[in-house]
Structure 1
Amino acid sequence: GADGLLLTPSWERGSPEQGEGLWTVEQDTPVVLVERSAPLGHPAARLDRVRSDHAHGAAEAVAHLAGLGHRAIALAVQDSPTAPRLRVGYRAAVAALGLTPVSPSPLDEAPSRSEADRFERTLEYLCQGVASGNVTAAIVHSDADAIVLIPRLQARGVRVPEDLAVIAYDDEVASLADLPLTAVAPDKQAVGAAAARLLLSRLGVDDPGATDTTGPGAGARRHLDILPTLRVRVSCGAAAAAP
């Protein structure tokens, strides 16, 4: 009895693999993908979608750290639908800014087998990078992971932010850490609201608060990217670097 569907399919990489996700285009009702997208050529790429621009968020984090003087920035991400876009934005920003390439996290090639394994391998990766002088800053996804990792880094003699500047990704609990975390914050409320408005417009429901009075209606499909914002706190060292 549903008139329309807002869908966040459980695609492990954030987009469907070959032969996956065809059911999304077989629905009789309007469908809007939320925080998911399909590759060009896939039938689901023709659906309306709204997502956070995670690649932009990662690039903003790299640019902020570069602005603080860091040239060797690591990326440590858990295996999730968000991770592929974070890697895209991170690599693009490192190249665009002419930063020093850093050896990738071992989790990029071999996903973690458990939460404990993820923490242990990420901890070793960052500690070795700092000890060798090859890493001075890191972007960690998610902020919950960063909250767990920072005390372990400190127990190993790695000071945050003095030895390793850290920016977390998600900003769900980053401000609650003992050391408040600078974090990239996807605007999840804005994504949900935009997706709901888009679906309602497909159903012919007028939105009195809409600034676009034409609305998509039955016309061209829309792919909307909502840009995350960077919230600067203590963990990146910006406060210490400020005059």
Structure 2
Amino acid sequence: VSDPEPGEGLWAVEQGVPVVLVERSAPLGHPAAGLDRVRSDHAHGAAEAVAHLAGLGHRAIALAVQDSPTAPRLRVGYRAAVEALGLTPVSAAPLDGAPSRSEAKRFERTLEYLCEAVASGNVTAAIVHSDADAIVLIPRLQARGVRVPEDLAVIAYDDEVAGLADLPLTAVAPDKHAVGAAAARLLLDRLGATEPGAADPGAGESGRRPAARRHLDILPSLRIRVSCGAVAAAP
């Protein structure tokens, strides 16, 4: 549940059985905000990408993200890292204000944004979500005379197909297996776990109270390949 409409997501609370949100969250104040939750810390992943590029000497880093549930957290982490590291602010990508209705239009607008950013002489690096988008965009950038990574260092976000590109992409890799495993463990714990406690009216006849709810954030990792301009690690 992410920025739900009034009443949206209440079904998860009303099931009467243990529920664990996976890669989703509910805003504070929403009834589902008190459910167990496991998700990737996408804000941390974006910040790690910014920090890596800054460590390579880049001072103006663009962010190009498609419209998705992941995008808001990527923007939060990106902006926080740019501010914390004292980097040069970069104008927002066009998709931030008005998402494209078609995939072709999304690629066209993102391509123009990145080409103009490089041509300005300021932007030298970019984070692109998703890596499937980055795989499509890089040949188009090269066709427009933008060399990767010489003119524009690129880090993709997701790492589902980043390593398969003609130019292997450095990518932030959310650990989806770890998220799923943690959610399964949490659900199994919830099915039978209780915490010992002093008998009180809210503890039930057994004198034990339900285990505390948990919100778990799993940190993504950064996989270094060629597209960022750093020395690539072993596959």
Compute the TM-score of the two structures, normalised by the length of structure 1.
0.87
Query: Residue 82 of structure 2 aligns with which residue?
Result: 94
Matched, 1:183 2:175: no
1:115 to 93, 103, 109: 103
Q: Say whether 1:224 aligns with 2:212.
A: no
Q: Tell which structure's C-alpha radius of gyration is larger.
A: 2
Give 1:133 shift: 1.2
Partner of 2:52: 64
Letter in 2 for 1:24: A
Matches within 5 A, 1:92-171: 92-171=80-159
How far did 1:15 drift?
4.2
CA distance in 2, matches of 1:18, 1:122: 33
Query: Does the 8 Å CA contact 1:61/1:184 hold for their aligned counterparts?
Result: yes
Asked if residue 239 in structure 1 is aligned to residue 231 in structure 2, the reply is yes
CA distance in structure 2 between the aligned counterparts of 1:17 and 1:71, rounded to whole angstroms: 39
Unaligned runs of 5+ in 1: 1-10, 206-216
Q: Which moved more, 1:14-23 or 1:221-230?
A: 14-23
Q: Is the 8 A contact 1:33 1:50 kept in 2?
A: yes
How many residue pairs align between the two structures? Answer: 217
Q: After TM superposition, which residue ranges in structure 1, 4 or more long, deviate above 6 angstroms?
A: none
Which sections of structure 2, spanning at least 5 residues, go unmatched? 194-208
Deviation at 1:16, TM superposition (A): 2.3
Look up the SS of the partner of 1:191 in the other structure. Answer: helix
Q: Which residue of 1 aligns with 2:17?
A: 29
2:71: which partner in 1? 83
Structure 2 CA distance for partners of 1:65 and 1:152, relative to 1, 3 Å: same
